[in-house]
Amino acid sequence: MADALNPENMEGRMKAAIFLMVMGEDFATQVFEKMSEEEIAEIAFEMSKVDHITPEMLKAVSIEFVEKFEGETKMIVEGDAFIKNVVSKTLQEKQANAILEDLEKKKQDKPFIWSRNINVGTLAGYVEGEHPQTIAMILAHMPTEISSEILMSLPEERKGDIALRVARLGQISEDVVRDVDKALKMELSGAVGPGGKAGGLEVLVDIINGVDKSTEDAVMEFVEEDDAEMAAEIRNLMFVFEDLTNIDDMAMREILKKVEGQQLTYALKTATEEMKDKIFSNLSQRAGEMLKDDLEAMGPVRLTEVEEAQQAVVRAAKELEADGTITLGKGKDDVLV
């Protein structure tokens, strides 16, 4: 099956979707106002398939964009937030909700989305028996939080090799993804879309951001020995707890709303003074005093508990970024919005 995002095979509706996403929400809203509900639903569905726009894709849509964005830079777009905002601005609430609900149903057919409903331990046991390249492909397509848990469960001596394969994974045909998805699901006796997603550094970084420190160290040590340049790129893209010092205060306040008090206390146990100042400056005076009291009263704690708490804070931040509430910005200097 031809790749729908391949510039050579891109169809009219996909070109229209990319063009509108590049032009922005306000422009897209004006265009949607001149379209029928059926046309809006079709274009919205095409938009939902797009998570990046390469220069080659821009060229297929417009020469103007090639001149402006030529090179290897790609544009990361928050497709879901974009669609929701544009559709909601264009249609009545009932009509907009109908289109968005239908879109959500269609998205449920994504490969491996069913993995969220499977015991991770059981799933990891089945995945571990596959060929390393197959494991890499599966991890690249599963929800990243599931991929992180599976990577942590793999034997130490295999983690680095699998991670490296994820980073080097190219475009996989939709048919292959569907076949593996179907076979694994049948093995697990679960009873699930378009595939074809590539692996790459950003996919690997998302997975690493969700693993424990020992797994991260094992992966990075292996990658460092095999490809020092790639290891440097991965570190540059990774978002860690201390990177939160660089986000704006409004974003920090949103993150703090999602973090439990005890988690925050543990997370600050080994934090730098700069990180602590960032946190305290975005808490109310009363909340800040309570947190300081908790820190002073806290005795020795396991380093693993501190790292887990810090990862929980980072996960909360990345969830907020994913739904468009905040922007973290780490490793995304070339993002266009």
* Confidence category of residue 76, pLDDT binned at 50, 70, 90: very low
Assign residue 162 the CATH number of its domain: 1.10.220.30
Give the pairing type, strands 52-53 and 75-76: antiparallel
Q: By C-alpha distance, which of 206, 116, 221, 209 is closest to 159?
A: 221
Q: Are residues 127 and 219 both part of a single domain?
A: yes
Question: End of a domain among 107, 124, 156?
Answer: 107
Q: Are residues 166 and 210 both part of a single domain?
A: yes
DSSP string, 62-103: -HHHHHHH-SS--EE--HHHHHHHHHHHHS-HHHHHHHHHHH
Q: Are residues 154 and 253 both part of a single domain?
A: no
Does residue 200 belong to any structural domain of this protein?
Answer: yes
Does residue 62 belong to any structural domain of this protein?
Answer: yes
Does residue 334 belong to any structural domain of this protein?
Answer: no
* Confidence category of residue 282, pLDDT binned at 50, 70, 90: very high
Q: Are residues 139 and 177 both part of a single domain?
A: yes
Q: Are residues 130 and 232 both part of a single domain?
A: yes
User: What is the reported pLDDT for 279?
Assistant: 92
Question: End of a domain among 211, 237, 263?
Answer: 237
Question: End of a domain among 204, 237, 270?
Answer: 237
* Confidence category of residue 277, pLDDT binned at 50, 70, 90: very high
User: What is the reported pLDDT for 281?
Assistant: 92
* Percent of the chain topping pLDDT 70: 80
Integer CA distances (angstroms), 11 to 2, 8, 212, 225, in order? 11, 9, 42, 43
Alpha-carbon span 56 to 215, nearest angstrom: 36
Does residue 91 belong to any structural domain of this protein?
Answer: yes
Does residue 327 belong to any structural domain of this protein?
Answer: no
Q: Are residues 226 and 246 both part of a single domain?
A: no
Range of the domain at 203: 113-237
Does residue 299 belong to any structural domain of this protein?
Answer: yes
Does residue 337 belong to any structural domain of this protein?
Answer: no
Task: Kindly tell me if the per-residue pLDDT of 266 is higher than 80.
Answer: yes
Does residue 221 belong to any structural domain of this protein?
Answer: yes
Residue bearing the bigger pLDDT, 114 or 258? 258
Q: Are residues 95 and 196 both part of a single domain?
A: no
Structural domain total, the chain: 3
Q: Are residues 221 and 124 both part of a single domain?
A: yes
Amino acid at residue number 66: V
Q: Are residues 233 and 254 both part of a single domain?
A: no
Q: Are residues 133 and 41 both part of a single domain?
A: no
Q: Are residues 157 and 206 both part of a single domain?
A: yes
Q: Are residues 94 and 55 both part of a single domain?
A: yes
* Confidence category of residue 199, pLDDT binned at 50, 70, 90: low
